[in-house]
Amino acid sequence: MAEQETREVDSESAQKSHSSVVKYIFIGLMVLVLLVVWWSQRTDPRLEGWTQDYEDASELAREQDRRILVFFSETPMNRDDRRMVDDILTHSDARVVLEYEDLVPVHLPIATHGELAAELGVAQTPAVALLTPEGEPISTRMGYMSVQQFVTEFLDSSASRAREALSRQ
């Protein structure tokens, strides 16, 4: 009888031990999944055709008499920064107008370009500033905006010229 009780106790402790191992493996897998998701969110999307060198962009703008479009974001990008990139700056309508207008697009982290951001009145991200070829501000806006707001505020005159040029062809 004592031997049977010992076997039952051993069996119960083996089941508890197995159950604990399964729990730890499950918790470990969940932590791993969360870390992978967190790490993938840390990687900022690249803006194709946008430079991250403001000095080179300024020089190019002056040489070619082109306006500068600056996008300020956090590093890593916050949710609204990512939305601006995904919904607006890579949107086909905005890209067509950007390409037609021949602006010099620059993407700058606000943390490393705080002095320029302050000169332009930028205190939060996302922020967009349109500058003359000499670097003087034409328009600055902070916060998320729709494609229509972006085109109207920063590219409306360009869009009008693009429509006129297309209608003449």
pLDDT, residue 41, reads: 55
Strand partners, 76: none
Between residues 158 and 131, which one has the greater pLDDT? Answer: 131
- Residue 117 pLDDT grade (very low, low, confident, very high; cuts 50, 70, 90): very high
For residue 141, give Cα distances in angstroms to 23, 99, 109, 131: 50, 21, 16, 12
Q: How confident is the model at residue 162 (pLDDT cuts 50, 70, 90)?
A: very low
How many Å apart are CA 114 and CA 97, to the nearest integer? Answer: 28
**Which stretch, 6-10, 48-52, 53-57, has highest mean pLDDT?**
53-57
More confident residue, 148 or 95: 148
Domain spans of the chain, in order of start:
1-43, 54-168
56 near 108, Cβ under 8 Å?
no
Topology of domain 54-168, per CATH?
Glutaredoxin (3.40.30)
Q: Which of the four pLDDT bands, split at 50, 70 and 90, describes residue 96? A: confident
Please say if the pLDDT value at position 145 is more than 50: yes
Phi–psi pair at 168, nearest 5 degrees: -80, -20
Average pLDDT in the 52-73 region? 96
